[in-house]
Chain A
Amino acid sequence: MNETYELRGGETHIEVHKFFPGAVVLVAAAALVFQAMAPVYFPKLSILDLPLLVTIYFGLSRRNPSTGLLLGMVIGLAQDALSGPTVPLGFYGIGKTVIGYLASSIGARLDTEHPAARFALIFSFFVVHQAVLVLVRRLLLAQPEAWFNLHLAIAAGVNALLGTVLFLGMDRLRRSS
């Protein structure tokens, strides 16, 4: 995890990034704490999903589906644990596991360094993440919830915008080759 190397598949040339020791853990923990505390003081910040952004970022950067889905699972379960008794363990876990896997799978095939690509990917992943959550709510919890609406579209846009900016800052945590 301390090296930067390249994946060469056919004509593609994709870089696999490594991060400073503890960077992943610290960033994930910070995102979780922020997600848990910020809405208490600023309710409108509940529109953000920083744990999801962290999952997407490290998934896209590490480009290893196994570690990506495991990281997503850990972050999701932690988010479940911090979300109170009304959210069962595994609710966000499943969603972020799927996103971790998809992000790292796509990151291994596409160059996701460009901000526009990142915006589009974050927006898409937010929608997929939301779809998984609605699926779980409907099928397992038997709770009716809208698949998509304007609020979610705005949330996807805001998260995509914020994620694009944050990703630029998080790029500094990468170890140079």
Chain B
Amino acid sequence: MVAIPSKHKSLTLLAGVLIAQLLLLAVQIKRDSRGRLIRVWAISAAYPFERSGAWGFGKVRGVWTHYFALLTTERENEALRIENDALKLTISQLQGRATEAERLGALLSFKQSHEKVPMVGGRVIAASAGTASRTIEIDRGEHDGIKRNMAVITPDGAVGKVIEVYGNTAQVLLLTDKEGGAGAMLLNTRTQGPVGGTGEPLMQMKYVATDEKVAVGEKIVTSGMDRIFPRDIPIGTVVEVKPGNPFKLIRVQPAAKLDRLETVIVLLTQEPVEFKSEAGQGEQTGAANAATPAAQNATPAAAEKP
């Protein structure tokens, strides 16, 4: 015990008595909505210690957690990595499904908007094994009413024609194959000329006279002269025009995405198909086709090699 000098004893006693009475007052006084004053004082007095204690405890715990208690971290990391990989895979699958749903939606929409045209949708299940040919195999065949030389399209444009039919599958020769092609014409000038594949991503429009005006960016559609494709189905866009003798050298970018086909439509007839995306040109289709019944009776083999 620390001895209190006698001259300070009364002062100490005064302080003690005053503090005791202050506490007595604090116990009795009740502040509005804040409880008794003694409680307010107690909380106010304890707050700095509580706060500093919580801060210190948090720091200590943080140091412990981040620097010492890392025994399970590696396991957690591994588990998280596995989970992350699984999630990435799931996301990828979902994205694929979303894309497929979008594509199927477009296909369905196309079919619904052409209800009167007999057609059947098919999924691409295989492609040509080498670069020498450009063909695909679809999961529709003879049982679905598919026959050789039927036109294969997508909502974007012409794809190719059926070259072999089996019970449940069929092979399709793409327009970009060296042996592929379609009767075509320039959309604006209605200049006709076959479009054929070169074995490369771009196609070539042939037999267009040098004096014909052909502009880069001009659309090319089917002419219907090949007896395979109905008239006015988009084939592609002119990307390069070179003068030649006696014909121009015209390179064409396919309208359909031939390098990433997943679903296609096989037209079971040569009835005209209206492509609304082609800026109203489709409206002419029916009339144009109706005006050329003779053309529809021509042999499909004519389109195999323009």
Contact = CB atoms under 8 A, between A and B. Distances in A.
Q: Which of A91, A140, A141 has the most CB of B within 10 A?
A: A140
Interface stretch (B20-28, B42-50, B69-77): B20-28
Contacts of A136: 25
Interface residues of A, number: 21
Q: Classify chain B: how many residues form its interface, as a range.
A: 10 to 19
Interface stretch (A33-41, A44-52, A63-71, A164-172): A63-71
Contacts of A141: 29
A73 B21 contact: yes
A173 to B, nearest CB: 24
B138 to A, nearest CB: 88
Contacts of B22: 90, 94, 140
B99 interface: no
Contacts of A65: 10-11, 13-14
Interface in B1-56: 9-11, 13-14, 17-18, 21-22, 24-26, 28-29, 31, 37
A136 B37 CA distance: 13
Contacts of B29: 88, 140-141
Q: Per DSSP, are chain B's interface residues mostly helix, strand or loop, or mixed?
A: helix
B10 A97 contact: no
Interface string A79-114: 000000000111101100110010001000000000
Contacts of A77: 21
Contact of A90 (B10, B13, B21): B21
A140 B37 CA distance: 8
Contacts of B24: 88-90, 93
Contacts of A89: 21, 24-25, 28
B143 to A, nearest CB: 94
A69 B28 contact: no
A146 interface: no
Nearest to A67: B10
A101 B25 CA distance: 20
Contacts of A64: 10
Interface in A137-166: 140-142
Given A88-B24, A90-B25, A136-B25, 10 more contacts: A65-B13, A66-B9, A69-B13, A69-B14, A73-B17, A89-B25, A89-B28, A97-B18, A140-B22, A142-B31
Interface of A: 64-66, 69-70, 73, 77, 88-91, 93-94, 97-98, 101, 105, 136, 140-142
